[in-house]
Chains A and B, each alone.
Chain A
Amino acid sequence: MLSVKTLQWMVYGFLAIIVAIVFQQVYTSMTEQGIASGGPYNNGAAYPRAIAITIGVLLVCQIFTDRFSTESEQEINSTIEASDLRRPVFLLVLFATYLGLLKTLGYHLTTTPVVLGIMLICGARNIPKLFLGALIMSFSFAYIFENILNVVLPGGIYSLNIPW
């Protein structure tokens, strides 16, 4: 179970890390390059630092608003059930694996199983029909991109590309 309040704190954490990275980079990499001081021409760090400070100030305002807000209590206390998250998590894991394997195994070896996998995650169960659908989708996209738009899709270590 994940409450909106938890998600809000995750966003605060994420933004706080972003702000911290900006300052870390300004005082290390940018200072070493000599672009963290001087006038508007030379000082490439002033603008991102100003934006990071603005984000920090706005973040404090938002935390303050959330802390003392009474009207959005109902919204903040609303939750997302863990069972609702199962499918998106599976989808993202499968998609991340696909993107990771695309360069190694190539488009043609990875796409059909992934499309089939996504349809299975969605709850469809007619495997032969789904497999046919996945094949059609995968090859139609390959045809459009490779043949019509002249995009060379990743062939992987086996250099699998269809000479249309």
Chain B
Amino acid sequence: MLIESLAMGFELFLTPTTIGLTLIGVLIGLLVGALPGLGPLMGIILLLPVAISMPPVAAMGFLIAIFVGGSCGGSISAILLRIPGTPLAAATLFDGYPMAQNGRASDAIGIAISASAIGGLIGGMVLIVGSPLLARFASGFAPPEYALLAITGLFAIAVISGGSLVKGLISGCFGLLLATIGTDEFSTGYRFTFGTHDMLNGFHIVAVVVGLFAISEMAYQIMGRDLLKTPNIKIARPGFGSILLTLRHWKNLVRSSGIGVFFGALPGAGGVISSFTSYAIAKAWAKPDEKYGEGAEGGVVATEAANNATVGGTLVPSLALGIPGDASSAMLLGALLILGFVPGPILFEQQPEMVGGIFLVYMSANVFLLIAGILVTPLFVYVLRIPKFYLIPVVLLLCSIGTFALQASVFDLMVMLGFGLVGILFRAANYPLSPIVIGIILGPILENNLRRALLISREGYWIFLDRPVSAVLVCMNVSLIIGAIWFALRKKKKNRLMAANDRP
């Protein structure tokens, strides 16, 4: 089945459009990753309207390549500027920047790109082998299991995403509520449409997400005092020799990639946790003469391999179950849905060529990252010198034309602006935005399966405890919430004790 799927996908993959867009996606990903304040999620959001007008595999290749490139691009600014382009590259600072200070900036960037690409390829192997197995296991799932899986995904992301569990859950529920706007699939009644035709299908997810993330980010960026500043950066020219430098740390590379895949596959964990964990483990296992924190190659290898392997890991539950691991994979699922494909076991059964195509674009994106990343890094260093006052109008222009292009609708532009204001407010009050996106994606899955489960049940909600897998998921969700509350209370107690100790 796997070989067949790959063979069928190969036909879709082997077109100039798909290959070209995957390469362009990697370059755009590196660019948005390198520019502080953007990152892979923003890259995917900004270019989603462009992608959905393309053939499906090419579109997914473009977006996945942005995800792959963006997960690595942050290391360039972390190494050269001591500012991680994305939070994913925060741990790369520890050794990447000291390497640059010691005159090894080119080696540091070369190692970061090589480790990212190899980590991504290891993640890809797990994706290719693991996701069909998970999809086969999940093919026996019925509405109760899907409803509970959606709740698990939402809980996990709310718990991990932004400090406060309650705020995360509120954001997630807000997303679930947004997903109910429009025509009800079961009763065909109109919900929250206020008599307007524009809302019969609800808000377009791209307009909502562009507003929440991109508009609010630009409003925050413009508050900065560095808008006119041109960073003074020396040109770095990494060579292919850095691949050998990276492979010298092969144990670290494989271990960190494994950690990345593991955390990627857990909904909500993501690249930041995996890169910090793998750095800590690599440091703990390192020989004393490796000098972690002072420019150790192993430190860069560990963090970069982990955060790119996370991409492969996060695609496993996303493709096999339709449950996104983080906001970026939620956007990829959103794109897949817009393109007319339903992620989950059905995709593996009915459209194996699409699955094979996605596997191939993912793997090729990592190969392109290795080659193109090393070749074009000097160009990205020039891009880092562009002051922000040029960047902000570019992003806003891309937001508005991209959103307009979705349905040639001015209403979508107003939705984008409205959600931009909501995004600013939520950010200012420390409410995480990612659970909103996950809520919008998981909303229809949750509602439809919940109602279907109740329709087939003779004992109401007991159906969720009658079936073994759903009973396990109920237990998981309950323990997740209890665990989160316990951790929050423990943290509060610890902080209170610390505050008491600090008092004179």
Contact = CB atoms under 8 A, between A and B. Distances in A.
Given A70-B496, A88-B220, A99-B417, A122 B388 contact: yes
Main secondary structure of the interface of B (DSSP, over half): helix
Interface string A1-40: 0101001101100110010011001000110011100011
A59 B499 CA distance: 27
B404 A134 contact: no
A91 B222 contact: yes
Nearest to B453: A40
A77 interface: no
A99 B414 contact: yes
A47 B228 contact: no
B187 A43 contact: yes
A47 B394 contact: no
Interface in A96-148: 96, 98-99, 102-103, 107, 111, 114-115, 118-119, 121-124, 133-134, 137-138, 141, 145
B410 A41 contact: no
B478 interface: no
A4 B430 contact: yes
A25 B176 contact: no
Question: Among A21, A30, A151, A154, which residue has the most Cβ atoms of chain B within 10 A?
Answer: A151
Contact of A7 (B228, B400, B429): B429
Nearest to B457: A40
A65 B164 CA distance: 10
Contacts of A70: 496, 499
A119 B405 contact: no
A122 B166 contact: no
Interface residues on A, range: 35 or more
A159 interface: no
A122 B394 CA distance: 13
A15 to B, nearest CB: 7
Interface stretch (B90-98, B167-175, B253-261, B268-276): B167-175
B269 to A, nearest CB: 23
A33 B189 contact: yes
Contact of B417 (A65, A95, A123): A95
B177 A55 contact: yes
Contacts of B428: 2, 4, 7, 80
Contacts, number: 184
Given A71-B499, A121-B222, A21 B186 contact: no
Interface residues of B, number: 67
Contacts of B180: 47-48, 51
Nearest to A2: B428
Contacts of B425: 7, 10-11, 14
B170 A15 contact: yes
B166 A61 contact: yes
Contacts of A11: 425-426, 429, 431
A151 B401 contact: yes
B389 A96 contact: no
B376 interface: no
Contacts of A22: 177, 192
5 contacts: A35-B189, A47-B450, A96-B417, A99-B400, A133-B390
Interface of B: 50, 53, 164, 166-167, 169-170, 173-174, 176-177, 180, 184, 186-187, 189-192, 215, 218-220, 222-223, 227-228, 387-390, 392-394, 396-398, 400-401, 404-405, 408, 410, 413-414, 416-417, 420-422, 424-426, 428-431, 447, 450-452, 454-455, 492, 495-496, 499
Given A18-B174, A25-B192, A35-B187, 18 more contacts: A11-B425, A11-B426, A25-B191, A29-B190, A30-B189, A39-B454, A44-B184, A44-B186, A70-B499, A71-B496, A84-B223, A95-B215, A98-B400, A115-B393, A121-B222, A122-B227, A151-B408, A154-B404
Interface of A: 2, 4, 7-8, 10-11, 14-15, 18, 21-22, 25, 29-30, 33-35, 39-45, 47-48, 51-52, 54-55, 58-59, 61-62, 65, 69-71, 75, 80, 84-85, 87-88, 91-92, 95-96, 98-99, 102-103, 107, 111, 114-115, 118-119, 121-124, 133-134, 137-138, 141, 145, 149-154
